[in-house]
Amino acid sequence: MPAYDEKPSIELQTALEAAHAAAEISRHYYAGNFTVTTKADLTPVTQADVECEQAIRKVILGRFPEHGFFGEETGRSNEDAEFLWLVDPIDGTKGFVRQYPFFSTQIALLHKGEIVLGVSSGTMMGELAWAEKGKGAWLNGERLAISTITDPDHAAVSTGNLKSLALSSGWSDLGEIVSRADRIRGYGDFYHYHLLAAGKIEAVIESDVNILDIAALSIIVTEAGGVFTDLNGEAVKLEIRSVLAANPELHAEYLELLRGRVT
């Protein structure tokens, strides 16, 4: 459980329980022996995705039946609810299918349009991160803090899902960031956000995302002291499609280069 000075909220306890239930299922299926089908958007979905979401939904709505639920596999229900749970049972299904360990379970809670908690469970990598608004961010019980490196020449930058950025005028501007960075990697999926929140890299630049991919990660990064927006500087909202996340100084510098370059 979180190493808070105060007792974690019932909502956070529930999210952690739900993440644990999903981890048991995804760990079971990780070695194979599952069916894979293709959704209308041509992305894969497995038995593990479906069963993980069912388990998460059972835990959360069993505790909070009046809350809304927005899942990657089951869609959105109770849309008028004051609280809305945002769930991606297996973020990184393509990697899961090929037995990459970078998949995760993402669970966040939205209250009146604001993300107030998030849990990010990297099951096969043994990483469980969480955050609540105003209570800091944590990874495996250790408090997280963003890097204080502000010089782009010394920054480690991780990129992901760059298809739309590659087709935009922002591609050359990303090249300027890349050419100056001390290290460029593409850790991808949940993992580069965990590294960012832990102060082990300085920035994440990503396109082609959706809110279920990054809702939990956004509050983990911000509670660790970072800034998390889309590539145009817009705050996290249900329609988000890209990410620029970094410490405040580097975020401002990179945003000046990238703003308005990708839609």
Convert the pLDDT of each residue in 116-157 to its tens digit: 999 999 999 999 999 999 999 999 999 999 999 999 999 999
Residue 8 amino acid letter: P
**In the prediction, which pLDDT does 16 show?**
98
Pairwise CA distance, residues 30 & 104, whole Å: 12
261 pLDDT exceeds 90? no
Q: Does the structure show a pLDDT above 90 at 247?
A: yes
Residue 121: which of 201, 209, 216, 198 has the closest Cα? 216
pTM, whole model, 2 decimals? 0.93
Residues 6+ apart with CB under 8 A from 47: 29, 34, 35
Domains of the chain: 10-143 (3.30.540.10), 152-258 (3.40.190.80)
Per-residue model confidence (pLDDT) at position 145: 98
More confident residue, 31 or 60: 60
The pLDDT of residue 5 is above 70: no
Pick the closest to residue 253 from 180, 165, 187, 196 (CA basis).
180
Q: What is the mean pLDDT of residues 10-20?
A: 98
Q: Is the pLDDT of residue 198 over 70?
A: yes
pLDDT by residue (tens digit) across 157-188? Answer: 999 988 888 888 888 889 999 999 999 999 98
Q: What is the pLDDT of residue 30?
A: 85
Question: How much is the CA Rg of the chain, to the nearest whole Å?
Answer: 18
Is the Cα torsion angle 209, 49, 187, 152 positive or negative in sign?
positive
- What is the residue whose two structure tokens read 């949940």? 190
